[in-house]
Structure 1
Amino acid sequence: MSDELLLTFRSPPLPFFVESNRATYKPGEEHPNRTNLGVFDLLFVNKGTLYVAEDNSRWALEPGDVLILRPDRWHYAYQPCTEETVFDWLHFQTVGAWEETENQQQGTLRGDYYTYAIRLPKRMRLTYPDEAKLIFSQLHEAAKNCSHGAFWDRQQRFLHLLQMLDEGWRSDAAKASVSVAERTAAYLKLNYRSVITNSMLSDVLELHINYITRCMTEVFGCTPQQYLLYYRLDQAKLLLIKTDWNIARIAEETGFRQTPHFSRLFAAHTGMPPLKFRKRFTK
Structure 2
Amino acid sequence: MNSSILHFISPPIPYFLDCGRATYGIGERHIKRKNIGVFDLIVVTKGALSIGENDKEWELQQGEALILRPDATHYGAAPCTQETEMIWIHFQTFGSWRECQDMKECLDNQTELIETHKQIAYLNHCDVCSIFIPKHIRVSQKEMEVLNNFTLLEQEPQTMRNWKRQAAFQLFIQHLDRDLASMSDATAFHLAEKIELFIRQNYTRNLSNAILQQELNYHPNYLAKCMLKIYGMTPIEYLTYFRIEQAKKLLIQTAWSVARIAEEVGFHHVSYFSSCFSKKEGISPSNFRMKFIGPR
**When the two structures are superposed, what TM-score results if normalisation uses the length of structure 1?**
0.89
Equivalent residue number for residue 202 of structure 1: 213
Question: How big is each residue's C-alpha offset from its partner over 1:22-69, in whole Å with a ceiling of 9 and x where there is no partner?
Answer: 222222121112221221111111121111111221111111111111
Letter in 1 for 2:45: N
Q: Distance in 2 between matches of 1:246 and 1:55?
A: 54
Q: Which residue of 2 aligns with 1:222?
A: 233
| 1:109 to 2:110 alignment | yes
Q: Give the Cα separation in 2 of the matches to 1:105 and 1:145.
A: 42
C-alpha separation in 1, matches of 2:290 and 2:55: 54
- For residue 61 of structure 1, what is the aligned residue in structure 2? 60
Query: 2:127 touches 2:245 (CA, 8 Å); kept in 1?
Result: no
Displacement, 1:278?
3.6
- 1:121–1:165 CA contact under 8 A, matched in 2: yes
* Aligned counterpart, 1:274: 285
- Structure 1: runs of 5+ lacking an equivalent: none
Q: Distance in 2 between matches of 1:88 and 1:251?
A: 52
Q: Is 1:75 the counterpart of 2:86 in the alignment?
A: no
- Over residues 212-249 of structure 1, what are the superposed CA-to-partner deviations in whole Å (9 max), with x where a residue is unaligned? 22222222222111110011112223333344443333
Q: Secondary structure at the residue paired with 1:165?
A: helix
Partner of 1:187: 198
Report if the CA contact (8 A) 2:243-2:265 is conserved.
Answer: yes
Q: Which residue type is aligned with residue 177 of structure 1?
A: A
Q: CA deviation at 1:143?
A: 5.7
In 2: Cα distance, 1:238 partner to 1:95 partner? 21
The one-character-per-residue Cα deviations of 1:193-216 (angstroms, maximum 9, x if unpaired) are 121111221221111222222222
CA distance in 2, matches of 1:45, 1:248: 58
Write out per-residue CA displacement over residues 128-161 of structure 1, whole angstroms, 9 at most, x where no aligned residue. 23x3333222223436766232221111111011
Assess if the C-alpha contact under 8 Å between 1:99 and 1:109 holds in 2: no
Query: Retained in 1: the 8 A contact 2:110–2:231?
Result: no
Distance, in Å, in 2 between the alignment partners of 1:36 and 1:247 is 47
Which amino acid in the other structure matches residue 214 of structure 1? Answer: K
Match among 121, 134, 138 for residue 125 of structure 1: 138
Task: State which drifts further: 193-202 or 171-180.
Answer: 171-180
SS of residue paired to 1:169: helix
Of 141-150 and 265-274, the range deviating more from structure 2: 141-150
Instruction: Map 1:164-175 to 2 at 5 A.
Output: 164-175=175-186
CA drift of 1:273 comes to 2.8
Please give the alpha-carbon distance, in whole angstroms, between the structure 2 residues aligned to 1:221 and 1:144.
46
Shift of 1:77: 1.6
The alignment covers a number of residue pairs equal to: 280
Report what 2:119 is aligned to.
Answer: none
The corresponding residue for 1:250 is 261
Contact 1:19 1:143 in 2 (8 A): no
272-281 vs 159-168, greater mean Cα deviation: 272-281
Worse overlay, 241-250 or 178-187: 241-250
- One-letter identity of the residue aligned with 1:45: V
Correspondence 1:6 to 2:17 = no
Greater helix percent: which structure?
Answer: 2
Normalising by structure 2, we get a TM-score of 0.86
**Identity value in percent:** 37
